[in-house]
Structure 1
Amino acid sequence: MSNTFLIIDDDINIRKMLKHLILKNNLGKVSEELGSGEHAPEEIVFYNPDIVLIDFLLPVKDGIEIIDSAISLGYKGKFIMVSQVEDENMITKAYENGIVFFIHKPINMIEALNVIRGVCHNIELEKSVILIKNAVFNIEKSQNVVSTPNIHDQMVNIFTDIGIIGESGSKDLMNVVEKIISFKRKNFSSTYQLQEIYQQIANEENATKDTHINARTIEQRIRRTILKALENIAELGNDDYYNIKFTEYSTRLFDLKQVKQEIKHLHAAKEDRGKINIKKFIEGMLSRLNF
């Protein structure tokens, strides 16, 4: 892969570890490494890497400030946050501000590799979409008609793998992913808003079924479905940690730490359940689909 990376972390050992992981697995090249948040937004814009690996807690400026500033300066690449932050509200805020994945410290190398590979794959798909749009702009509509069933079939296969194809919220989840793909085809450099998509789906359902649901209802149905997927993946890992479906989906669709927590819950009901992040799940789906 020809992707470029910029690593921002005040721990030199973490920077070396991530750089080694990238180079060893031929994921791309590291353009620059930074040890603090000072001048980080300007450096990001200057080097314009495909992917920024960034810590949450940094000297001078924290990760969220850097992401906001870089985006405001015109940076359109991907952010992967690598941090020991445990607070769920802070992690959710990071997702809301533009990161596509969150890798916890201490770093699990398998998780980190799968996450970075997934984001690289997603970037390649986006680049392919741009090339296709430029080459066959006048027949874009007919292309969408042809590709959409294939995307649906791919999602059916994934949902079957993780045991949620029969869940009531699986249709909502498919609808969300299809709408995001459509959005990306038209606005490849823009960021989608899940709440807007939920509301759009709610409006469509209200119009066709004469119901009165809202975006919150759609989100709850999707959340329950993803929680069921987490439970199923945890059961696979509990039975066989090296199960091919477990290794594929535990880090691509979920936070591995939360999968392990769900496994603990399976052993003892008094243990808290693992938590899910809808955007991480969806980004993982997008990285797995060919569109």
Structure 2
Amino acid sequence: MMSNTFLILDDDINIRKMLKQLILKNNLGRVVAELSSGEHAVEEIIFYKPDIVLIDLLLPFKDGIDIIEQTIAQGYSGKFIMISQVENEEMISNAYEKGILFFIHKPINRLEALHVIKMVSQNIELERSVNMIRNVLSGFDANSAQSGTSTVEDNIRSILTDIGIISEAGSKDLIAVIRKIILYKKKNPLLSYQLQDIYQEIAEEENGNKGTKASARTIEQRIRRTILKAIENIAQLGLDDYYNPKFTEYSSRLFELKQVKQEMKFIENPAEERGKINIKRFVEGVISQINF
């Protein structure tokens, strides 16, 4: 049973009550503190050391991004889930870069919020398990490590097959990115990574092995096109059968449910905007399903 601690930071008391109820009703853990502004948020987070912080972006006194940056700088290693009505894509992307794992749009969809909180809780449990194993077994030989990597890749391929993108040109790049992040997390479960750095690594490896001139930007574009195909496939599943198990499983695990619904509107009417994707959310969603 999950028993993580939570700190809820939102200036709307109704949002705080709803999130607390969601956590307690589903036995996800306990709420150690509720804050209505960013004024003393950094000090409170450092004091309580919650496993998960549910945080709004726009807050009185100090915004969510500043709070995240300052708490991480002071050594806080918990997880951030941002819940906000902000629609600006640049601000949302910046939030992911600063350290949030997932972004949930207001008004909150309870099913999506529950999925996301469970995913992050599961990630924490996996990290704890990895740490326990590491403490017992000080090292693994190269062959065992390679075998584990192979199993992980099989699991990644299975998920990409499930959502119909395994044959897309960018699927190999996507697998490479996810595999690298998992390997890094095995070494350091508290790792904070930048996707651009990983794209660059993959580009350099590709250039060295094949003599090509791939760039980090090329890798990112191939991955983005592949994930756009994934959201299209999931949206089509939802249109065909809203209760399709794959739609239920992946619509809020790999994407923001709001964006999947927007993609469904686009499929029905191309005059609508397409649903938007976030690569880091997609990657973390895949990783949350892999027992590594």
What's the TM-score bracket when you normalise by the shorter of the two chains? over 0.9
Aligned pairs (5 A) from 1:249-260: 249-260=250-261
CA distance in 2, matches of 1:210, 1:37: 51
Q: Map Cα deviations across residues 117-163 of structure 1 (whole Å, 9 max, x no partner).
A: 00001111111111111111132644422321221111111111100
Structure 1 stretches of 4+ with a deviation exceeding 4 A read: none
CA distance in 2, matches of 1:140, 1:184: 18
Report deviation, 1:205. 0.6
Q: Map Cα deviations across residues 223-267 of structure 1 (whole Å, 9 max, x no partner).
A: 000000000000001111111100110101001111111001101
SS at match of 1:30: strand
What letter corresponds to residue 138 of structure 1 in structure 2?
Answer: G
In structure 1, the partner of 2:85 is 84
Aligned pairs (5 A) from 1:114-263: 114-139=115-140, 141-263=142-264
> What is the root-mean-square deviation in Å for CA atoms of aligned residues?
0.9
CA distance in 1, matches of 2:141, 2:202: 23
Q: Map Cα deviations across residues 104-124 of structure 1 (whole Å, 9 max, x no partner).
A: 111100000000000001111
In structure 1, the partner of 2:290 is 289
Q: Map Cα deviations across residues 90-116 of structure 1 (whole Å, 9 max, x no partner).
A: 111111111000011111000000000
CA distance in 1, matches of 2:9, 2:217: 36
Count of residue correspondences: 291
CA distance in 1, matches of 2:93, 2:111: 23
What letter corresponds to residue 132 of structure 2 in structure 1?
Answer: L
CA distance in 1, matches of 2:186, 2:259: 32
CA distance in 2, matches of 1:247, 1:274: 17
CA distance in 2, matches of 1:190, 1:168: 28
CA distance in 1, matches of 2:144, 2:100: 30
**Contact 1:38 1:61 (C-alpha < 8 Å) held by counterparts:** yes
CA distance in 2, matches of 1:167, 1:19: 41
CA distance in 1, matches of 2:104, 2:218: 29
CA distance in 2, matches of 1:247, 1:217: 32
CA distance in 2, matches of 1:196, 1:132: 28
CA distance in 1, matches of 2:123, 2:139: 25
Judged with a 3 Å threshold, the aligned counterparts in structure 2 of structure 1 residues 245 and 232 are, in CA distance, closer, same or farther, namely same
Judged with a 3 Å threshold, the aligned counterparts in structure 2 of structure 1 residues 232 and 30 are, in CA distance, closer, same or farther, namely same
CA distance in 2, matches of 1:21, 1:128: 25
CA distance in 2, matches of 1:99, 1:168: 28
Unpaired segments ≥5 residues, structure 1: none
**Structure-1-length-normalised TM-score:** 0.98
Q: Map Cα deviations across residues 149-193 of structure 1 (whole Å, 9 max, x no partner).
A: 221111111111100011111111010001001111112222011
What letter corresponds to residue 158 of structure 1 in structure 2?
Answer: I
Q: Report % sequence identity.
A: 66
**Contact 1:133 1:140 (C-alpha < 8 Å) held by counterparts:** no
In structure 2, the partner of 1:36 is 37
**Structure-2-length-normalised TM-score:** 0.98
- Name whichever of 144-153 and 225-234 sits farther off: 144-153
Unpaired segments ≥5 residues, structure 2: none
Q: Does residue 7 in structure 1 map to residue 37 in structure 2? A: no
